[in-house]
Structure 1
Amino acid sequence: MSFQGYLKTIKGKTGKGPADFRHLAEEKGFTKNGELSAKAGDITKWLKEDFDLGHGHAMAIYALLKGIKNEESE
């Protein structure tokens, strides 16, 4: 699945896009001024518990928060 495919599926399941997850991560204290301070395991646990995302989809959001990927990534 492409990164865009992950984002589309996540948006369909949760109603939330990249900006929403960035905002939520900041509220949860996982990021500060856009910089990720949490570990991948903490992020995936949060996304699995709160949004019922699978591991791959949770890791896509982690990559987004970490800056490895962005909304334009393939």
Structure 2
Amino acid sequence: MSFQAYLDTIERNTGKTPADFRALAATRGLTSEGGITPGVKATEVTDWLKADFGLGHGHAMAIYALLKGMKKEGDA
């Protein structure tokens, strides 16, 4: 499954776009200046996504990778 397919599935299941997740993460203080806020661990982000949006671990990690800047929309 491509990275974009993960994002498409997440949007279909949650109604949230990558931009929505970026904005939500920023309001929670998880991101700053286009990346993960220093000191924020992947577990903190994935636990939030699992609890609030019902994402599985793989899909939560995809959003983490997006927020961290490791991946971007349209990546294979």
- Per the shorter chain, which TM-score range? over 0.9
- Match of 1:43, as an amino acid? V
- Find the counterpart in structure 2 of residue 73 from structure 1: 75
**Greater length-normalized contact order (CA 8 Å, ≥ 6 residues apart):** 2
- Find the counterpart in structure 1 of residue 4 from structure 2: 4
| Structure 2 residues without counterparts, runs of 5 or longer | none
4+ long deviations beyond 3 Å: none
Distance 1:63 1:40 in 2: 9
Distance 1:33 1:64 in 2: 14
Distance 2:75 2:5 in 1: 10
Distance 1:21 1:35 in 2: 12
Distance 1:31 1:17 in 2: 16
| Structure 1 residues without counterparts, runs of 5 or longer | none
- Find the counterpart in structure 2 of residue 48 from structure 1: 50
Q: Could you tell me how far 1:8 is from its partner in structure 2?
A: 0.7
Identity percentage of aligned residues? 62
In the alignment of these two chains, the number of paired residues is 74
TM-score (norm 2): 0.92
Once the two structures are superposed, residues 23-64 of structure 1 have per-residue CA deviations (whole angstroms, 9 ceiling, x without a partner) of 000000001122212211001000000000000000000000
